[in-house]
Amino acid sequence: MNPENIFRFPSLYEYKNRALSAVNGLGGFSVDALTGGKSVLDIGCGPLQLYYSPERTRQHAAVDNSPEMVEACKQKYPRSQCLVASADALPFKDKSFDLVTIFFVLHHIDFEKWAKVLSEAQRVAKERVLVLDHIRHDGRFRGWLQKKYWDLFDGGKAYLRKDQWRETLKGLSVREFRQRGVFFGNVCYFEIDPLARA
Ligand SMILES: C[S@@+](CC[C@H](N)C(=O)[O-])C[C@H]1O[C@@H](n2cnc3c(N)ncnc32)[C@H](O)[C@@H]1O
């Protein structure tokens, strides 16, 4: 079975997500200080948001290409505008939101489409695009183990090493590039200026 089928089962994904967040060294990680009081779009929202409170935003919209995830998100956050949409064709006008978040979504998208997805996120953002995703380990053993885990339980399409992330982000105005977690995790967080395409 393709592990990405879990996106059709929001409750199951929620259990996996909570467990993984701790393993990834993200327990306690929060961007609430940035998102509080702002208008925020969450791309690839899944069933819930672990890294900020949609309730504390001024306005919150969420998109996912899985109708099941969108339904679960609507149930969890009745005040949010939740829509089925693809990250590479967002149904919003330019600069519709102060902030755009795209957390653990890019690696589920073919690498050839990342530039389009990032430019869509930048297009609808006024202030910043916030990104969280995985980094592939350099070390042979940990890299092998991580790949085994991803093949069996994640099913993503593109996992970059740190140097590949840096290459991919070249030309974008990245404000921070922080790395967290050590084992399966090895997670990166960064913020992109919406207007700074090379
Ligand atoms: C690993 S989950 C992350 C969910 C949530 N952002 C989180 O941090 O827990 C990836 C989500 O991205 C969605 N997704 C994958 N490809 C997408 C695309 N092209 N457009 C929109 N959503 C997508 C999946 O349906 C899934 O809900």
Residue 89 lies in a domain: yes
- Greater pLDDT, 141 or 120: 120
With beta carbons less than 8 A apart as the criterion, state whether 114 and 105 touch. Answer: no
pLDDT exceeds cutoff 50 at 198: no
Residue 19 lies in a domain: yes
* Residue with tokens 């399966």, as numbered in its chain: 184
Evaluate: CB of 45 within 6 angstroms of ligand 1. yes
Residue 103 lies in a domain: yes
Residue 198 lies in a domain: no
With beta carbons less than 8 A apart as the criterion, state whether 180 and 24 touch. Answer: yes
Q: What is the CATH number of the domain that holds 119?
A: 3.40.50.150
Evaluate: CB of 192 within 6 angstroms of ligand 1. no
- Ligand 1 centroid to Cα of residue 100, in Å, is 14
Question: For 12-40, how does the pLDDT look when each residue is reduced to its tens digit (9 = 90+)?
Answer: 888 788 877 777 777 888 999 999 999 99
- Rounded Cα–Cα distance for residues 105 and 118 (Å): 11
Ligand 1 atom showing the smallest separation from residue 45 Cα: 6
Domain that holds residue 45: 3-192
Amino acid at 189: Y
How much is the pLDDT for 183? 59
- Which tokens go with 139? 């070390």
Average pLDDT, the chain: 91
- Ligand 1 centroid to Cα of residue 174, in Å, is 22
Q: What is the pTM of this model?
A: 0.94
Residue 77 lies in a domain: yes
Evaluate: CB of 108 within 6 angstroms of ligand 1. yes
Highest average pLDDT, of 4-8, 15-19, 75-79, comes from: 75-79
pLDDT-derived band at 154, boundaries 50, 70, 90: confident
Question: Structurally, how many domains does the chain consist of?
Answer: 1
Evaluate: CB of 64 within 6 angstroms of ligand 1. yes
- Which tokens go with 54? 């949609």
Evaluate: CB of 7 within 6 angstroms of ligand 1. yes
Lowest mean pLDDT of 65-79, 84-98, 129-143, 172-186, name the range: 172-186
Tell me which of 65, 73, 154 to substitute to probe ligand 1's pocket, judged by most ligand atoms within 8 Å of the beta carbon.
65
Lowest mean pLDDT of 26-40, 41-55, 141-155, name the range: 141-155
Residue 25 lies in a domain: yes
